[in-house]
Amino acid sequence: MNDQDIISVAAVQAAPVFLDKDATIEKACRLIAEAGENGAKLIVFPETFIPTFPYWSNYHPEGPPWARTFTKLFKNSVEIPSPDTDILGQAARKAGAYLVMGLNERDRVYGGTLYNTLLFFDPEGRILGKHRKLMPTHHERLFWGFGDGSGLNVYPTSLGKLGGLICYEHHMTLSKYALYAQGEQIHCGVWPGWPGNPDYDNIDIVHTASRQYAFEGQCFVICACGWIHPDMIPEDFEFKDEMDCRSRGGTTIISPLGHLVAEPLLDKEGIVYAKLKMDHIIKAKAFVDCTGHYARWDVLNLNFNRRPNQAIATPRRPVELQLREELTELLARANTLTHEDLLGELHRLTGAD
């Protein structure tokens, strides 16, 4: 990527094939191919597109019915890596594009937990990494576990530095800054596009948060929102009559100055395209650079724990003990080192000149 690049991107607004993983992946591959044929080099899907966002999460039935629907969601979720991710990677490779996919992830280590996950692929179809939503919102905690800092990453790519957050993570100030501070240039912000009923329409919140992210971080934001119509819910889904899945979508793309570069797509499926002029990042940073000339790290800085959250943790050795062991090993082979090499090793261990 250089400052003169113009990058074609696509944000998909589409309904999943409700609670059907295989059919939803097949639909995703068709949409990836379409976006690739239209020149997109980055293709972004909404939050938990595979196999669906749990729109019934705001309806709380008794235990057994809830467990039945959770089981169906679990069985139709994706392990990483797996043959399912291989299929998505092949679609990205055929399209010649980076792919960011929102999905329900089955934990392959402990076996009983789902995560709300963003999965990143490169144009060769290889997995770059994944981000699990750090804090499921309110009723979502019935379905998803908590992510950790190991997936809060920005990926260097040929397009620029690529990162992403999920839904209300865009209201978690420190999570945002963790990506800004890694030099993020293209941000994938994914949302469910829901709720969209007259009493509570989430679109204004989504667009306000996304435009604020773009301006605050001086980066482009690909805002990919889900969409579904009540008629798309199968008749045999046991909470069809109780849940309200009306959604409006709202997919759009935003410049580093907070301006819309693609009009929001509302109330239907489609793909939103835009061309990103990368020198707009420089123009934005000329005024406010939140990780450069407009930052005061000596006054305020971020404590960022990037270690994976594991059930069994190996205690870390005290620094003094580790240093003593390494110095002992160095002294044992000191006679085999040149003077310069010995000084170099001492400098590495102690930081002394």
pLDDT per residue over 107-150, tens digit each? 988 889 999 999 999 999 999 999 999 999 988 999 999 999 99
Instruction: Name which residue leads in pLDDT, 314 or 89.
Output: 89
Residue that has been written with the tokens 């190996």 in this structure: 314
Gyration radius of the chain's alpha carbons: 23
Ordered by start, the domain boundaries in the chain are: 6-287, 319-350
From the DSSP assignment, how many helices (H) and strands (E) are in the chain?
A: 8, 14
Q: Are 254 and 211 in contact (CB under 8 A)?
A: yes
When pLDDT is cut at 50, 70 and 90, the band that residue 337 belongs to is confident
**Strand pairing partners for 272?**
11
Homologous superfamily of the 6-287 domain (CATH):
Carbon-nitrogen hydrolase (3.60.110.10)
Q: Are 275 and 234 in contact (CB under 8 A)?
A: no
Looking at the predicted structure, is the pLDDT value of residue 324 above 70? yes
Looking at the predicted structure, is the pLDDT value of residue 309 above 80? yes
Residue that has been written with the tokens 């908590």 in this structure: 146
- Separation of alpha carbons 339 and 350, rounded Å: 16
Looking at the predicted structure, is the pLDDT value of residue 163 above 80? yes
Phi, psi of 6, deg, nearest 5: -120, 120
In this predicted structure, what is the pLDDT of residue 343?
78
Cβ-in-10-Å burial (0-12, 13-18, 19+) of 117 comes to buried
Looking at the predicted structure, is the pLDDT value of residue 196 above 80? no
When pLDDT is cut at 50, 70 and 90, the band that residue 178 belongs to is very high
Residue that has been written with the tokens 């595979």 in this structure: 50
Sign of CA dihedral 59, 62, 63, 68: negative
Q: Give pLDDT tens digits for 266-301.
A: 999 999 999 999 999 999 999 999 999 999 999 999
Residues acting as catalytic residues: 47, 133, 167
When pLDDT is cut at 50, 70 and 90, the band that residue 65 belongs to is confident
Q: Where are the alpha helices (DSSP H) in the chain?
A: 21-37, 63-75, 83-95, 173-180, 203-217, 279-287, 319-332, 339-350
Q: What angle do CA 306, 147, 95 make, to 5 degrees?
A: 95
